[in-house]
Structure 1
Amino acid sequence: MKIVGVAACTVGIAHTYIAQEKLENAGKKAGHDISVETQGTIGTENELTQQQIAEADIVIIAADVKIAGRERFEGKRIIQVPTEIAVKSPNKLLEKAVEVVNQKESLK
């Protein structure tokens, strides 16, 4: 499955990058193609491309603040959670993403 995400915390330092790392590690371990953009105090890093977004099965937004560029995900399935969920339970979050994608697929 292809997953894209955005991580952003209130301070834009620690939780942003921890959430990114936890999601990417859990995603790769589960065999998913995952890319997570960070939005923090030093701006946007690992910015997602339009192609990555277009090819994604689902978008995970792990944010405690309003993210920039949310309109890029218009029409995509989105799961939005606080960064704390991505940090503490990245595997469960990815399992939920798979469930959401599979539910949508079975409705077709």
Structure 2
Amino acid sequence: MKIVGIAACTSGIAHTYMAKKSLVKAGEELGHKIHIETQGTIGTEDALTQSEIDEADVVIVAADIKVNGRERFIGKPIVDVPTNVVIKSPKGLINKIVKTYGG
């Protein structure tokens, strides 16, 4: 499965990067292609390309705040979760997404 997403927390520092790291590690360990951009106090990092978005099967928005650029994902299934869920149980989340959306 190809997964893209955004990680963002209220301060834009710790939980943002912890969520990204957890998702990427779990996704790769489970055999999925995954790319997560971060949005925080220093702006957007590892921005998703339109090609990555077009090829994605699902979008994960792991955020505790409103994120920018959601309009890029029109027509894609979007899973909204708080960062703490992703940090605590990234494999569980990804496995649930695979059951729901295939892959």
Is 1:51 equivalent to 2:31 in the alignment? no
What CA RMSD, in Å, does the superposition of the two structures yield over aligned residues?
1.0
Paired residue for 1:78? 78
Deviation at 1:99, TM superposition (A): 1.3
> Which residue pairs with 1:67 in the alignment?
67
Provide the C-alpha distance between the structure 2 equivalents of 1:93 and 1:42, rounded to a whole number of angstroms.
Answer: 27
- How many pairs does the alignment contain? 103
Spell out structure 1 runs of 4+ moving beyond 4 A: none
Using the TM superposition, give the Cα deviation of residue 96 of structure 1 relative to its aligned residue in structure 2, in angstroms. 1.3
Other-structure match for 1:18 = 18
Distance 2:55 2:96 in 1: 19
Q: Which has the larger radius of gyration?
A: 1
Q: Which blocks of at least 5 consecutive residues in structure 1 are unaligned?
A: none
SS at match of 1:100: helix
Return the offset for 1:97: 1.2
The one-letter code matched in structure 2 to 1:33 is K
Unaligned runs of 5+ in 2: none
- Distance in 1 of aligned mates of 2:75 and 2:100: 14
Take 1:27 and 1:92, find their aligned partners in 2: how far apart are those partners? 10
Shift of 1:22: 0.3
TM-score of the two chains, using structure 2 as the length reference: 0.98
